[in-house]
Structure 1
Amino acid sequence: MGVKSKAAAAILVLLLFLGSLWLQGGLDYHWDSCLKGYNQVNTLHQLYNSSGADGAEGPQVREGCPGQTFQVSLLLSHLLAASAETSDVLLQPYLASWDELVKFMEALGPMVGLISKEIESKTSIIRQLALLADGNPEAELGPEINSINSMSTEAGTKNDEEASQYNAAYHSVRSMILVELKRGVVDFQHQTDSGCRTLLRLHRALLWLKLFLEKLGETPVAGRLRSPSELCREAYQSTLANHHTWFVRRAAELAFIAMPERGFFYRLVCVQSQEELSTLLKTVVQSIGEVYDRTQKALDENGMLDLP
């Protein structure tokens, strides 16, 4: 085997290892995503063509980007649905948002795509926990769960049929936190596969992607647009790297080297210029930010930002 072949094999081994450790901790099981079929409940014209607070039209987003598996319009629709309830995040559209973000990562090539496999495993854990939460959690947990699940906006009420696919205990981030604390399945000292710990790992990864997309939408500095590889590495170093070992951080650096150039991202979301990309990504980042901030607050209020 030549030197180049050995180097390529070594890189592949490192990236496979990275995929298994990316969100801290390997998984003991992998479940099918039984509830992956989240149905859109918001029409796209309401989301993209509505007027903003200043009366200006919102960014025009194509409902479908031909030839792309990842669809930014679907991502935005799921994110909007996830934040439909007051001060809470609905889990079903939240996980559907991750389904689309996984497609985004896989579109960036096999090196980055390896990372998405661990994220898929994390979303599968929460979905499976929702399916296994049988019985009558409302009776077990008392009126608190009813209070949380009744804080719906008009938009959230329209989603009752779709939301009923999830057990009421896993209806939202706050209801999941409540039920898992009541049942004593959240361990603040040792690693568990609780929904709360799993959500925290997804939450950290969401901040990384949010920051990367924010940087990708930046306008040129001194006439120069920095490479996506550089931006992704920078976003990682200020977010997920804080929770990773030295070895995983080095392996991540290898994955980012293989990031495609900026023109690829134009094609991925069907825009023609950096200006159009910046406008679109601003909307995406704002939508992710709303979901992230609500999740951050719920986890912080329950002392869950440092679960092992």
Structure 2
Amino acid sequence: MALQNNEKFDIKIVYDKFEAALHEEDDIHLQFYLESFEELNKFFTLMGTVFGFVSKDLKAKMDILNEFLKDSNKSENFITVKKMIEYEKQNELLNKKGYTSGSRTLLRLHRGLDFIQLFLKKLGDLRDEESTSSACREAYDQTLAKHHPFVIRNGAKVAIYTLPTREILLKKVCGELDNIQKAMNLLPETLEVTAVVHTRIEKLYTVHDLHRLP
């Protein structure tokens, strides 16, 4: 995920797109979800090579889902998360050989979102002079580590150990002090809507018994 030199993370995009993604009472609009996730992934890209193991994997998953949305023959079945799951279940596509399942792909992003929202929450609770590595390690251990093999877990823990203080990290990701302040002010509301999005997807995968997709 290549970024321009002056490009920074904009938490308002995350908030606005996740808010727009809320569809009906229990569904998620996939296009808005992906647009929000694109900005969240920018956060990790701006952190540098430390989070290459996360950002590259998430970008690959987003690309797969975006291709479904661009395909005029399939896009109507992928407008929302619920539609996608029902379409793939009814047509027995979840485990079809040679087919890349959108539901399986989204599950990987969903796990990534679990990690991202927990890390951002912990980041918001830190003081500027405190290191972000412990918060990140705790968030990783509670989420993505459960799904990563030993080699990736080890590499991640080594990389996380090198993370800087909150002040330095936020400057690198958000840029100017004014932008950092705006991001921190909007963080609680962003975490709220992110939690709603996460809960809706969690429930859909529970209802359809898809959490154990290989």
TM-score w.r.t. length of structure 1: 0.61
Cα-Cα RMSD: 2.8
Structure 2 CA distance for aligned equivalents of residues 127 and 275 of structure 1 = 32
Structure 1 CA distance for aligned equivalents of residues 15 and 210 of structure 2 = 27
Mark the CA change 1:241 to 1:279 in structure 2 (over 3 Å): closer, same or farther: same
Mark the CA change 1:280 to 1:191 in structure 2 (over 3 Å): closer, same or farther: farther
* Higher normalized helix content (fraction of residues): 2
Structure 1 CA distance for aligned equivalents of residues 78 and 164 of structure 2 = 37
Q: State the Cα deviation string for residues 175-225 of structure 1 (Å, max 9, x = none).
A: 00011111111129x9962001001000001000000001111156xxx96
Structure 1 CA distance for aligned equivalents of residues 169 and 151 of structure 2 = 29
Local SS of the residue matching 1:307:
coil
Partner of 1:102: 41
Partner of 1:116: 55
Which residue, 82, 85, 89 being the options, matches 1:177?
Answer: 85
Q: Is the CA contact 2:18–2:194 (under 8 Å) kept in the aligned structure 1?
A: yes
Counterpart AA for 2:77:
A
Counterpart AA for 1:170:
F
| Unmatched 5+ stretches in structure 1 | 1-66, 136-166
Q: State the Cα deviation string for residues 242-269 of structure 1 (Å, max 9, x = none).
A: 1111111101112212323211344344
Local SS of the residue matching 1:235:
helix
Partner of 1:77: 16
| Unmatched 5+ stretches in structure 2 | 1-5
Structure 2 CA distance for aligned equivalents of residues 253 and 277 of structure 1 = 27
1:186 aligns with 2:125: no
Query: Aligned pairs, how many?
Result: 208
Structure 1 CA distance for aligned equivalents of residues 71 and 7 of structure 2 = 34
Counterpart AA for 1:120:
K
Q: State the Cα deviation string for residues 34-74 of structure 1 (Å, max 9, x = none).
A: xxxxxxxxxxxxxxxxxxxxxxxxxxxxxxxxx44321111
Query: Aligned ranges for residues 115-134 of structure 1 at < 5 Å?
Result: 115-132=54-71, 134=73
Query: Sequence identity of aligned pairs in percent?
Result: 31
Counterpart AA for 1:173:
V
Query: Aligned ranges for residues 272-287 of structure 1 at < 5 Å?
Result: 279-287=185-193
Structure 1 CA distance for aligned equivalents of residues 181 and 101 of structure 2 = 42
Give 1:272 deviation, angstroms. Answer: 6.3
Query: Aligned ranges for residues 90-239 of structure 1 at < 5 Å?
Result: 90-132=29-71, 134=73, 167-187=75-95, 193-218=100-125, 226-239=130-143
Partner of 2:210: 304
Structure 1 CA distance for aligned equivalents of residues 182 and 40 of structure 2 = 20
Structure 1 CA distance for aligned equivalents of residues 134 and 98 of structure 2 = 33
Q: Is the CA contact 2:110–2:201 (under 8 Å) kept in the aligned structure 1?
A: yes
Query: Aligned ranges for residues 37-56 of structure 1 at < 5 Å?
Result: none
Q: Is the CA contact 2:26–2:200 (under 8 Å) kept in the aligned structure 1?
A: yes
Most deviating of 109-118 and 86-95 = 109-118
Give 1:169 deviation, angstroms. Answer: 0.8
Structure 1 CA distance for aligned equivalents of residues 18 and 120 of structure 2 = 15
Structure 1 CA distance for aligned equivalents of residues 131 and 52 of structure 2 = 19
Mark the CA change 1:129 to 1:279 in structure 2 (over 3 Å): closer, same or farther: same
Give 1:306 deviation, angstroms. Answer: 1.1
Counterpart AA for 2:199:
D
Partner of 2:3: none
Q: Is the CA contact 2:11–2:186 (under 8 Å) kept in the aligned structure 1?
A: no
Which residue, 130, 138, 152 being the options, matches 1:248?
Answer: 152
